[in-house]
Every structure is written in structure tokens, then in C-alpha cells.
């Protein structure tokens, strides 16, 4: 664990790939991840954990599937949202966004269950920058 501040702007300047989160900090057993969103991710679910989204720049949409069908929540800059464990969801951002995510360390970016992963989505547990 580092005891130095992390410059999030420098982290963002260090990568351009969407859907390829960077781990900027660890808090207990959780990763704090910084990601660029562009286009659509994949429908997926995390069976054992919730997923926290905080939009730092841009706007994202999160499609949700539950017993009532499908719906979409829209998160502009400065908004936060938690997708409950086990819920199928698909993040997207037509115009691009920067998002801070909080997930247990080792959580796969495409969840435990998912549709076919397209080439533009990095199926990863995150890329450490610290």
C-alpha cells in the first residue's frame, strides 16, 4: 500500500482505453478503480457483490434487468449509483465518461455471468497503477 497521494489526472493521462479500469487505491479488501467509459459494455452480473459508480466526467447510462423487465438509469457528472449484487446491468456512455468504481479486490469487470464479451471490453480484475 502506498502512503503517497495519487494524482487521478496523471492516471487518466496514462491511458485511453475504455472499459479497462485502473486500480488507484485499495481500501481494506476493496479496489478503487478509475475507468473510461465509451460506447457499450456487456450485460453482466456480479453474484456476490454490489457495484458502486461515481461519475467524475461525462454522462453514463446503466441498463438494468430485474423482475420488472429492463430499465435505464442515467447518471450525469457528480452522480453516484449502486447496482445491487446479482442484478444484470450494462453500463454505456455514447459520448464518453470517466467513472470511479468501488468493488472487492479481484472482481472481474465482466462479472460472474455475462453475455459474449466484445473485443473492445477488457475482461480484467483491474490494472494497478500504484
**Quick one: pLDDT at residue 32?**
97
The domains located in the chain, with CATH, are 9-113 (2.60.120.10)
Summarised one tens digit per residue, pLDDT across range 51-106 is 999 999 999 999 999 888 999 999 999 999 999 999 999 999 999 999 999 999 99
Computed from CA positions of residues 67, 68, 69, 75, in that sequence, does the dihedral angle turn out positive or negative?
negative
Cβ atoms < 10 Å from Cβ of 67: 4
Summarised one tens digit per residue, pLDDT across range 19-54 is 999 999 999 999 999 999 999 999 999 999 999 999
Cβ atoms < 10 Å from Cβ of 49: 17
- 16: cell is 485511453
Amino acid at each position: 500500500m502506498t502512503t503517497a497521494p495519487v494524482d487521478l489526472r496523471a492516471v487518466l493521462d496514462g491511458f485511453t482505453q475504455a472499459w479497462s479500469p485502473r486500480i488507484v487505491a485499495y481500501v481494506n479488501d476493496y479496489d478503487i478503480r478509475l475507468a473510461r467509459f465509451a460506447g457499450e459494455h456487456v450485460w453482466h452480473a456480479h453474484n456476490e457483490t454490489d457495484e458502486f459508480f461515481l461519475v467524475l466526467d461525462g454522462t453514463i447510462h446503466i441498463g438494468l434487468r430485474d423482475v420488472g423487465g429492463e430499465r435505464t438509469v442515467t447518471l450525469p457528472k457528480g452522480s453516484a449509483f449502486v447496482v445491487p449484487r446479482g442484478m444484470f446491468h450494462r453500463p454505456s456512455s455514447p459520448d464518453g465518461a470517466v467513472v470511479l468504481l468501488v468493488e472487492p479486490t479481484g472482481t472481474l469487470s465482466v462479472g460472474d455471468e455475462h453475455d459474449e464479451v466484445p473485443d473492445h471490453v477488457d475482461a480484467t480484475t483491474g490494472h494497478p497503477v500504484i
